[in-house]
Amino acid sequence: MALDVDEKPAAQPEKNKNGGEVTLKLSSSDTGDHQQMFGYTARRVKSTINFDASSHACAKDLKFERDGWYAELSPGLSCHTRLDLLDAIGTGEGLYSGCHDTFRFGTSGFNNTGYPLKQTTTIKRGKERFTSSLAVTELSNATFDSSLFEIPEGYIHARDNSDFMLLPKNPDVARIGVPLIKNDSSQKLDQMRDSFVQALRNAGLDPVALNGDSAAALEADAKNKQCDYILHTDVASVKRKKHGGGFLDSMVGEDTKKPVTYDVILAYKLNKPGQSTPLLDSTEESREGASALQGVNAALEQLVRKTLNYIRQNQ
């Protein structure tokens, strides 16, 4: 996974209240301490990752501190500067649900730490503290048989995590195939299928992501994954509304700085695989969302309830 490090990121305007810009600054220093571990000379390195966040950013008040012993095991195990930053991004997004920050990177000091043989990580968020530790308990050199690296017979390509994590079908739970959510509006919305799939799963259903560039390909994927239903969803309309600020409001002394809201319309169809006539074919609306994304998520929650009610009544 490529991760370009920008030492001097250019200033970017804040986009909206659903996220902002966060610069991750990794600073490491070699303490000069050394010890022998598993036949290698390990050096002690201390590092910090600071989250320099804009006012609208979700990942605020975060700081990583690491204290560990590292050794050069091989040239192929020496990219931990980048892996540390990727871990930090994942933690930042995980702590703040729905976070959609833009991340930039900066490094200083001792970058190439090597492989951690012993390491303690402390994550600080405001007054909260979380500490985790890892330690290698056994390390040996061995030459593996080349057959271990050959593609095994019966190999099936996993196109994404949903393929990789697909569990055996439970006959008592409806499995719903979820294609990518289409966006017919002019709003630039991030792909929301993952959160939609999770909402369906939380409702007690068995959703799986479907992949395909055509209806036939989606049908084939649904059949391969043993789906009972296919749920197609389109963001049909996103309308931005600004309350107040008109001439009449100004004349009567009304507040002209009321927030912008968004009205969202989702169009959806629920089908049985192999059947062209939809079981459900309707729309869901959400009004007064503080952002386009918030409006879409609210409409998706309503869609989850409608889907669940239909399946319970007809299964």
The pLDDT value given to residue 100:
65
pLDDT tens digits for 273-292? 988 899 999 999 988 777 88
For the residues 110-114, what does the mean pLDDT come to?
A: 67
- Per residue in 77-97, pLDDT (tens digit) is 555 555 555 555 555 554 454
* DSSP SS3 for 275: coil
For 174-233, write each residue's pLDDT tens digit.
999 999 888 877 766 656 788 888 889 888 899 988 888 889 999 999 998 899 999 999
| Domain limits, the chain | 21-135, 161-314
The CATH class that applies to domain 161-314 reads: alpha beta
pLDDT tens, residue by residue, 19-72 = 678 787 888 888 999 999 999 999 999 988 888 878 777 767 778 899 999 998
pTM over the 0.75 mark: no
Residue 138 pLDDT > 50, yes or no? yes
Task: Give me the pLDDT at residue 17, please.
Answer: 45
The pLDDT mean for the chain works out to 78
Query: pLDDT-based confidence at 241, cuts 50/70/90?
Result: confident
Q: Please tell me what DSSP assigns to residue 232.
A: E
Q: Is 49 helix (H, G, I), strand (E, B) or coil?
A: strand
Conformation bin of residue 230: beta by default, left when phi > 0, alpha when psi is -120 to 50:
beta
Contact between residue 267 and residue 283 where contact means Cβ atoms under 8 Å apart: yes
Q: How much is the average pLDDT of 146-159?
A: 78
Helix (H, G, I), strand (E, B) or coil at 25: strand
- What distance in Å separates the CA atoms of residue 156 and residue 177, rounded to the nearest whole number? 19
